[in-house]
């Protein structure tokens, strides 16, 4: 191994297959490089156990356990491990390269909208559902171990990272990994994990509940300067209200109830699985489809259809009287029965007969030489 250690391995080759390009991350136990597959140019990430831990069996075993855990996983929301080996005196993992930013970069800026928080958390739960079904419990879920990958056309695409403290369950449910407070991160540790008791998939459910709390409020539920005090708060302190901490956000009671259930002190009181947690998030008011309700009360006058207006009565027609009629002698007619159809017909017949009589009289006078 070069004298400079694992911090400067740029341009080094591993087994003539992988070329290390540049360092992209580091932690207390490991260093991560961006690399490429020689001859293919495919980007990869290679994670080395630091040389200071390479001769310590416990740390080597934990590193190997991460390789075993990730080899079981094949899910879009979980990082994929492609190879494992030893180089420069230390074990290494070859993983898919994921460009993007850790979720911690988002939580450090404060709270986000509830719909976006739910979108992110549901993807985390989808990846956990897959991992738990294959006997892998993460046990160190936190924003720093969740990557928001750069995917064209997809916003906030989640990848769960760092299975270095994963618990691998055998067929009978036995734990192949270690338990206790020497694993995990105090701010996200479930009470049973803080107490050094056995862990299971519901331990991850608790951690996701804490992350959802932080995304909604911009704060961690339990904070103290002393990490041991934080662990004590995980065990005994009541869960703060997300609606009280951020009243202006309009968080629904249903969403708050989801957070509270995920963060229950007793595992039996939490969601039974990541799947149940995810399914419950689908129906909170922030994301559930809203039905259009039709009004059932009286219709507002402005919305009521106009009532038909009665037509105005027609004015009676004035009779047109000719000169001949004015000069003709009056004709007496039998009065009609008022209001009856027979009376009206009789009056009409009388008028016609009167006109005929006038015409005949005029004609007779002309014949006689009067006109």
For the annotated catalytic residues, the residue numbers are 140
What are the b/e assignments for 332-363, b being 16+ CB within 10 Å? Answer: eeeebeeeeeeeeebeeeeeeebeeebeeeee
SS3 content of the chain, % helix, strand, coil (to 5): 40, 15, 45
CB 210 within 8 A of CB 193: no
- Centre a 10 Å sphere on the Cβ of residue 21 and count the other Cβ atoms it contains: 18
Handedness of CA 47, 48, 53, 56 (dihedral sign): positive
Instruction: Evaluate whether 134 touches 71 at the Cβ level (below 8 Å).
Output: no
Structure-token pair, residue 17: 């297959």
How many whole angstroms separate alpha carbon 112 and alpha carbon 104?
A: 12
DSSP annotation string for 3-23: TTGGG--TT-EETTTEEEEEE
- Give the distance between the most distant pair of CA atoms in the chain: 157
Both tokens of 213, joined, read: 């709390």
* Stretch (H or E) spanning 130: helix 114-133
- Token pair 């156990």 is found at 49
């Amino acid at each position: 191994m070069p004298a400079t250690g694992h911090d400067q391995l740029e341009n080094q080759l591993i087994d003539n297959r992988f070329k290390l390009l540049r360092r992209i991350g580091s932690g207390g136990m490991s260093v991560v490089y961006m690399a490429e597959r020689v001859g293919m140019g495919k980007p990869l990430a290679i994670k080395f156990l630091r040389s200071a831990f390479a001769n310590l069996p416990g740390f080597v075993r934990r590193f190997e356990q991460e390789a075993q855990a990730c080899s079981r996983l094949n899910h879009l929301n979980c990082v994929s491990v492609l190879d494992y080996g030893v180089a420069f005196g230390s074990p290494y993992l070859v993983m898919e390269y994921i460009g993007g930013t850790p979720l911690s970069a988002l939580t450090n800026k404060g709270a986000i909208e509830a719909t976006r928080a739910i979108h992110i958390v549901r993807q985390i739960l989808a990846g956990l559902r897959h991992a738990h079904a294959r006997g892998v419990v993460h046990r160190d879920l936190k924003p720093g171990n969740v990557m928001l990958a750069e995917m064209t056309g997809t916003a906030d695409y989640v990848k769960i990272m760092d299975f270095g403290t994963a618990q691998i369950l055998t067929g009978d449910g036995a734990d192949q990994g270690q338990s206790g407070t020497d694993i995990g991160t105090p701010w996200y540790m479930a009470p049973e994990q803080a107490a050094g008791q056995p862990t299971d998939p519901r331990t991850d459910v608790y951690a996701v509940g804490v992350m959802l709390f932080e995304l909604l409020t911009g704060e961690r539920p339990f904070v103290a300067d002393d990490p041991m005090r934080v662990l004590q708060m995980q065990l005994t302190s009541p869960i703060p209200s997300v609606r009280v901490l951020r009243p202006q956000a309009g968080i629904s009671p249903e969403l708050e109830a989801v957070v509270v259930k995920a963060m229950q002190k007793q595992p039996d009181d939490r969601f039974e699985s990541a799947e149940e947690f995810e399914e419950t998030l689908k129906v909170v008011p922030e994301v559930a489809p809203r039905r259009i309700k039709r009004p059932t009360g009286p219709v507002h006058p402005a919305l009521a259809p106009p009532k038909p207006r009665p037509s105005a009565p027609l004015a009676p027609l004035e009779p047109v009287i000719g000169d001949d009629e004015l000069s003709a002698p009056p004709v007496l007619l039998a009065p009609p029965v008022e209001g009856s159809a027979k009376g009206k017909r009789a009056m009409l017949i009388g008028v016609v007969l009167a006109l005929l009589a006038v015409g005949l009289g005029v004609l007779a006078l002309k014949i006689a030489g009067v006109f």
